[in-house]
């Protein structure tokens, strides 16, 4: 991670913190304003409304009478009548209404003993012990002026009776008046509701964006439940919704369910350290929910009575949370979630605030303060989550950067190592060709084996890092199946022979012969599987089977399977086979060379080609690896017979190599490393070619000015003018004798697609270091002008 990025990140977090803090302060201010400064009494009455709250006579069933001012509370036995009585004023006009709010009581309104209005709990789905609260509007007119109004209240359960204020006025004015009084509650309800929804959306987005690492969406759900609780519980809901009886249940259900998202959130917050406890809370909450549903459905009780047990579960969860927080404090783990803890404290404080307010009948029990506290808690939870997301993001960037640096480093290293290996293998090949001494040839053979092993290791690491970083791309070309199979078989034939294994090649005669795909990578897949089969088989046979399954006119699946009679792979080890750097049965592998990369690379190549690979193995008996590769088919002409004896061709060619002669062919080799020049010269010693050397681009340009060459081998990375610049200068110079001479790029850059890139720049061909005589000879023969070639 660059320093600049870190500073930027810190700045972003700071801005974020300031905005968050400002928001919290704003919320606190709003809370203080609405609950302390802006009291109900201070809201002036709507013009066309009159309040009728003074001097009511409260008469109980036992005949006692007292003067009261509304709103007020009174204690009376359940199911008994409590009557409020008063003389109506003289200012009533036609079509006026008298309005009050019943608070959990049935109401009958009489004017001069005439029953004018009756409200009793409607017969609804959910039965209540007490009627729900509701705003009532009783039609009165100027004829009722100065008459006696008597309002009877009946409550079925509980001794405390609450009586609301009474208003007179036009209906619209009365509604407008209630709206004004409820203004803050309405605004709150809408804000909380929206906040709940936003929290869920943001929470889910964070969860998806971080692959489930951040799970603040739980608290989003809890916030939504709290908002729903507040909305469906507040006094203004009956101005909006009609079926209050059923609506009345919702806040209770919300409270019942609230413990579940909270438990899930706390569990995530405390990194699953106390999962068992939270699982118990969730189980109890669910059971509680189901039990209450059954009890209500069977008519045994009603939801109103669930408050006690719901409160007990909430307390249990709160208590448990305190214990886990103390435990975390002891383990010094609190700093992980300190802001959330601060939010929780605010929430608990708001709970006490709410309780205090509930004691005051004047202010009422909207639950707004509690909700505010919960909203603050939610905000701190989101603050914590977003901070975490910012941190995760920068860590991810740093990891990407580190991975990039790693793959760059590995690519450079493998390039750097290839150059000296080229020298070692090249010079060694010269020894193998020139020496006649038995013991020297023995040593040189060992150097050759070890060198090639080192080379394949470097190739594997390079391939793997490219595959890991997603930089590997396929380079499809047209290729012949016969060439592909022969090449792969040749790669393992000698080793199989040395071990006394029977190498069988079974190619379905009708398999199409020419395909379009990445031949090199398919070669690698087959060679890896064949090499493993030979490596891990002591006796018996190794069989390569190839066939093709037609899918359409142009496409088919190339099916390649490699079977051996080796040691097999245990069932439990199969899942590890394709993991990088894992060598299953490590103790048995000590004498078998390998890195555990072969199958990982094979698997990734197969994936890259949208193919599949399967393993079938019996421990102790052998294994079969089957690869299926979708390929484009260029020619459906059957391939015919291919057998392992094709190898002879290869041997013949090797014999020919020893006799490779090109007398008089003039070649210029350009490389800044002397040893590399020496390698080419030694390999071609017997070829009778006329070879000149140059150690840099400048020298190459000098030499080509005065002598016409038939072919030029040019290195890429050289101090001063590099290979590409040298080629361009050569092609630009109209006077140069070698303006048309084929120039072959000779480089240790073995990156995938490098050949195509160099040829695109203008090179005639490409040979990668290290190379042997056979590679060198092939490239020379291919690029010599026609008459020389003959």
The residue among 351 and 596 lying less far from ligand ADP, judged by its C-beta, is 596
Asked whether position 257 contacts ligand ADP by CB under 6 A, the answer is no
Q: Is 738 helix (H, G, I), strand (E, B) or coil?
A: coil
The pattern of x and - marking residues 688 through 727 that bind ligand ADP according to CB under 6 A reads ----------------------------------------
Here the tokens at position 235 are 């006094």
The residue among 154 and 501 lying less far from ligand ADP, judged by its C-beta, is 501
CB of 631 to ligand ADP, least distance (A): 23
> In 3D, which of 547, 565, 535 has the Cα closest to residue 506?
547
The residue among 375 and 562 lying less far from ligand ADP, judged by its C-beta, is 562
Of 467, 577, 629, 730, the residue at the interface with ligand ADP (CB under 6 A) is: 577
Residue nearest to ligand ADP (CB): 594
Here the tokens at position 401 are 């950067």
Q: What's the Cα-to-Cα distance from 95 to each of 52, 117, 139, 173, rounded to whole Å? A: 17, 15, 7, 12
Of 221, 599, 746, 779, the residue at the interface with ligand ADP (CB under 6 A) is: 599
CB of 498 to ligand ADP, least distance (A): 17
- Antiparallel, parallel or unpaired: β 743-747 and 711-714: parallel
Asked whether position 598 contacts ligand ADP by CB under 6 A, the answer is yes
Note whether 766 and 744 are within 8 A (CB).
Answer: yes
Asked whether position 616 contacts ligand ADP by CB under 6 A, the answer is no
Our CA angle for 311, 315, 317, nearest 5°, is: 120
CB of 507 to ligand ADP, least distance (A): 20
Binders of ligand ADP among residues 348 to 407 (CB under 6 A) are none
Please state, in angstroms and rounded to a whole number, the distance separating the CA atoms of residues 401 and 407: 10
> In 3D, which of 710, 703, 705 has the Cα closest to residue 689?
710
Here the tokens at position 494 are 């000698």
CB of 525 to ligand ADP, least distance (A): 11
> In 3D, which of 467, 444, 429, 435 has the Cα closest to residue 769?
429
Here the tokens at position 775 are 């590679």
Binders of ligand ADP among residues 149 to 178 (CB under 6 A) are none
> In 3D, which of 629, 355, 341 has the Cα closest to residue 484?
629
Q: Tell me the β-bridge partners of 107.
A: 119, 153
Binders of ligand ADP among residues 232 to 251 (CB under 6 A) are none
The residue among 429 and 564 lying less far from ligand ADP, judged by its C-beta, is 564
The one-character DSSP state at 272 is T
Q: Which stretch binds ligand ADP (CB under 6 A): 64-72, 137-145, 450-458, 598-606?
A: 598-606
Sheet holding 65-68, edge to edge: 65-68, 56-60, 81-87, 148-154, 106-111, 114-119
Asked whether position 596 contacts ligand ADP by CB under 6 A, the answer is yes
Q: Which stretch binds ligand ADP (CB under 6 A): 161-169, 318-326, 506-514, 532-540?
A: 532-540
Asked whether position 532 contacts ligand ADP by CB under 6 A, the answer is yes
Sign of the dihedral defined by the CA atoms of residues 484, 490, 496, 500, in that order: positive
CB of 647 to ligand ADP, least distance (A): 21
Asked whether position 564 contacts ligand ADP by CB under 6 A, the answer is yes
Asked whether position 466 contacts ligand ADP by CB under 6 A, the answer is no
- The count of chain residues that interact with ligand ADP, using the rule CB under 6 A, is 20
Asked whether position 584 contacts ligand ADP by CB under 6 A, the answer is yes
Asked whether position 595 contacts ligand ADP by CB under 6 A, the answer is yes
The pattern of x and - marking residues 291 through 330 that bind ligand ADP according to CB under 6 A reads ----------------------------------------
The tally of CA atoms less than 13 A away on the side-chain side of residue 396 is 10
DSSP of 487-543, one letter per residue?
Answer: HHHHHHHHHHHHTT-EEEEEE-TTSEEEEEE-HHHHHHHHHHHHHHHHHT-SSSEEE
Asked whether position 536 contacts ligand ADP by CB under 6 A, the answer is yes
Of 161, 233, 415, 583, the residue at the interface with ligand ADP (CB under 6 A) is: 583
Our CA angle for 727, 732, 738, nearest 5°, is: 65
SS in 3 state form for 110-170? EECCEEEEEECCCCCCCCCCCCCCEEEEEEECHHHCCCEEEEEEECCCCCEEEEEEEEEEC
Of 170, 508, 541, 585, the residue at the interface with ligand ADP (CB under 6 A) is: 585
The residue among 332 and 587 lying less far from ligand ADP, judged by its C-beta, is 587
Asked whether position 626 contacts ligand ADP by CB under 6 A, the answer is no
Q: Which stretch binds ligand ADP (CB under 6 A): 87-95, 162-170, 419-427, 560-568?
A: 560-568
Please state, in angstroms and rounded to a whole number, the distance separating the CA atoms of residues 640 and 319: 80
Asked whether position 217 contacts ligand ADP by CB under 6 A, the answer is no
Residue numbers of the site for ligand ADP (CB under 6 A)? Answer: 532-533, 536, 564, 566-567, 569, 577, 583-585, 589, 594-600, 623
């Amino acid at each position: 991670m660059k320093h600049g990025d870190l500073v930027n990140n810190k700045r972003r977090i700071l801005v974020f913190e300031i905005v968050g803090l400002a928001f919290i302060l704003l919320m606190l201010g709003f809370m203080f304003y609405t609950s302390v400064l802006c009291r109900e009494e201070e809201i002036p009455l709507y013009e066309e409304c009159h309040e009728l709250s003074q001097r009511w006579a409260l008469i109980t069933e036992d005949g006692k009478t007292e003067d009261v001012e509304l709103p007020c509370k009174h204690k009376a036995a359940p199911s008994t009548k409590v009557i409020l009585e008063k003389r109506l004023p003289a200012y009533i006009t036609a079509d006026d209404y008298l309005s009050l709010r019943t608070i959990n009581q049935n109401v009958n309104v009489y004017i001069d003993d005439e029953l004018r209005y009756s409200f009793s709990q409607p017969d609804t789905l959910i039965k209540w012990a007490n009627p729900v609260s509701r705003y009532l509007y009783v039609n009165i007119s100027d004829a009722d002026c100065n008459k006696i109004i008597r309002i009877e209240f009946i409550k079925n359960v509980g001794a405390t009776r609450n009586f609301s204020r009474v208003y007179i006025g036009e209906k619209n004015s009365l509604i407008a008046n209630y709206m004004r009084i409820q203004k803050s509650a309405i605004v709150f309800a809408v804000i909380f509701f929206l906040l709940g929804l936003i929290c869920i959306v943001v929470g889910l987005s964070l969860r998806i964006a971080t692959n489930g690492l951040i799970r603040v969406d739980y608290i989003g759900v809890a916030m939504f439940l709290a908002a729903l609780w507040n909305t469906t519980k507040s006094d203004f809901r009956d101005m909006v919704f009609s079926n209050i009886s059923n609506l009345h249940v919702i806040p209770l259900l919300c409270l019942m369910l609230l413990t579940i998202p909270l438990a899930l959130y706390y569990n995530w917050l405390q990194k699953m350290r106390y999962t068992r406890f939270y699982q118990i809370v969730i189980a109890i909450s669910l059971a509680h929910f189901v039990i209450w549903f059954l009890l209500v459905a069977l008519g045994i009780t009603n939801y109103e009575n669930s408050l006690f047990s719901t409160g007990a579960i909430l307390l249990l969860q709160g208590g448990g949370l305190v214990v886990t927080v103390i435990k975390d404090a002891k383990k010094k783990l609190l700093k992980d979630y300190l802001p959330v803890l601060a939010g929780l404290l605010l929430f608990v404080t708001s709970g006490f605030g709410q309780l205090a307010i509930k004691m005051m009948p004047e202010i009422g029990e909207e639950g707004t303060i509690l909700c505010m506290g919960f909203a603050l808690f939610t905000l701190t939870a989101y603050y914590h989550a977003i901070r975490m997301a910012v941190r995760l993001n920068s860590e991810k960037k740093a990891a990407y950067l580190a991975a990039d640096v790693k793959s760059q480093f590995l690519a450079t290293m493998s390039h750097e190592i290839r150059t000296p290996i080229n020298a070692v293998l090249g010079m060694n090949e010269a020894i193998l060709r020139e020496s006649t001494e038995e013991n020297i040839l023995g040593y040189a053979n060992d150097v050759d084996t070890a060198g090639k092993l080192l080379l394949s290791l470097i190739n594997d690491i390079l391939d793997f890092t490219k595959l890991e970083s997603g930089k590997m791309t396929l380079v499809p070309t047209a290729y012949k199946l016969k060439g592909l199979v022969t090449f792969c078989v040749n790669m393992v034939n000698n080793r199989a022979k040395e071990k006394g294994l029977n190498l069988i090649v079974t190619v379905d005669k009708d398999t199409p012969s020419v395909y379009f795909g990445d031949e090199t990578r398919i070669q690698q897949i087959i060679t890896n599987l064949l090499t493993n089969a030979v490596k891990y088989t002591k006796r018996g046979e190794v069989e390569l089977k190839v066939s093709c399954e037609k899918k359409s006119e142009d496409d088919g699946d190339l099916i390649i399977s490699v079977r051996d009679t080796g040691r097999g792979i245990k069932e439990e080890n199969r899942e590890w086979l394709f993991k990088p750097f894992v060598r299953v049965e490590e103790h048995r592998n000590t004498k078998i060379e390998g890195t555990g990369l072969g199958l990982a690379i094979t698997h990734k190549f197969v994936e890259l080609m949208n193919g599949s690979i399967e393993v079938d193995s019996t421990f102790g008996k052998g294994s079969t690896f089957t690869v299926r590769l979708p390929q484009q088919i260029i020619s459906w002409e059957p391939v015919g017979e291919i057998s392992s004896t094709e190898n002879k061709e290869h041997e013949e060619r090797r014999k020919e190599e020893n006799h490779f002669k090109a007398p008089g062919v003039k070649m210029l080799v350009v490389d800044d490393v002397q040893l590399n020049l020496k390698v080419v010269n030694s390999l071609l010693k017997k070829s009778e070619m006329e070879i000149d050397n140059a150690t840099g681009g400048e020298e190459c340009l000098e030499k080509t000015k005065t002598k016409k060459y038939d072919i030029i081998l040019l290195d890429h990375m050289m101090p001063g003018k590099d290979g590409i610049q040298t080629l361009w200068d050569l092609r630009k110079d109209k006077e140069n004798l070698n303006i048309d001479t084929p120039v072959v790029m000779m480089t240790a850059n073995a990156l995938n697609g490098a050949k195509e890139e160099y040829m695109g720049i203008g090179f005639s061909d490409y040979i990668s270091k290290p190379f042997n005589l056979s590679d060198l000879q092939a490239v020379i023969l291919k690029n010599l002008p026609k008459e020389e070639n003959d």
